[in-house]
Amino acid sequence: MKKQFKLGIIGGGFMARAIIQGIDFIKPKKIIVADPSASAQELLKDLGVVVTANNRDVADNCEYLLFAVKPQTFPVVAEGLRGVPVEKIITIMAGVKKQTVKDAMFGDPKVVRVMPNLPCSIRFGMTAMDLSDFEENVDDCAFVQELFNKIGNVLLVPEEKLNAATGISGSGPAYVYLFIDGLIQAGIRQGLSEDEAKTLAVNTVVGGAEMVVHSEEKTIDELISAVCSKGGTTIQAVDSFRNDNLYDIIDRAVAACVARAEELSK
């Protein structure tokens, strides 16, 4: 039986709203979102979608059901959906395995697990996803990919790599913000104003990233070497980073993030 809504979303938080704002191939009236918060409902209404506080209304009346709730909240949400048949599920819950979602739901739904990141909110995000449950249906695959292509780039990976993707792209923007803030604070200590340091740091990080994107013929090491000259200024900073084991620091941080994602998977 044809469903009333193309997309249903349980959880109307920041990422759900980012996804909705990026969608231009579904009419807002074909999207229904459930959230218990009155303030969240008001923000959602401004986007033109149908809003409710009843999760069952969403699950029972949509073709694709997107879970955009915190992993810790999912068991309670799933219990409230007991007996509601859902065929196609998309989840952006960090660390929650597809099988966990299937076991908690009624019937035998197909589940796509997705890990977007914060820059999706400005349509410059990075999303990793496991589409294997939908691989036999071209239309289903195209729909899910289109949802997230509208808010950034998409990388298809098997589920066993999604926790690693969380450690790099899902949580990665926070690492970049830390590095930018470190540059700003260092610039201030060297005599720059905060605005001057921020302008220099932000544009340098953006420009550096664009160089990596547009210099596919060069390795990262070659790009580093292109900035460094023997006996110059840059090599002093690079050597300082290396002496302080910057790569080890990053590796430990990512490993801690992935370990937490693994904990949430259990």
Residue with tokens 């910057």: 246
Chain segment 236-249, per-residue pLDDT in tens:
999 999 999 999 99
* Domain ranges within the chain, ordered by starting residue: 5-158, 172-265
Q: What angle do CA 27, 33, 38 make, to 5 degrees?
A: 125
**Taking the CB of residue 162, how many other CB atoms lie within 10 A of it?**
24
Total-model pTM: 0.90
Yes or no: say if 66 and 58 are a contact pair by the CB < 8 Å rule.
Answer: no
Q: What pLDDT does 199 receive? A: 98
Chain segment 62-85, per-residue pLDDT in tens:
999 999 999 999 999 999 999 999
Residue with tokens 């070497």: 225
Residue 1 confidence class, pLDDT cut points 50, 70, 90? low
**Helix, strand, or coil (residue 90):** strand
CA distances to 128, 146, 180 from 112, in Å: 11, 13, 34
Chain segment 136-151, per-residue pLDDT in tens:
999 999 999 999 999 9
**The listed CATH number (1.10.3730.10, 3.65.10.10, 2.40.10.10, 3.30.1490.20) that belongs to domain 172-265:** 1.10.3730.10
Q: What is the CATH number of domain 5-158?
A: 3.40.50.720
Fold match between domain 5-158 and domain 172-265 = no
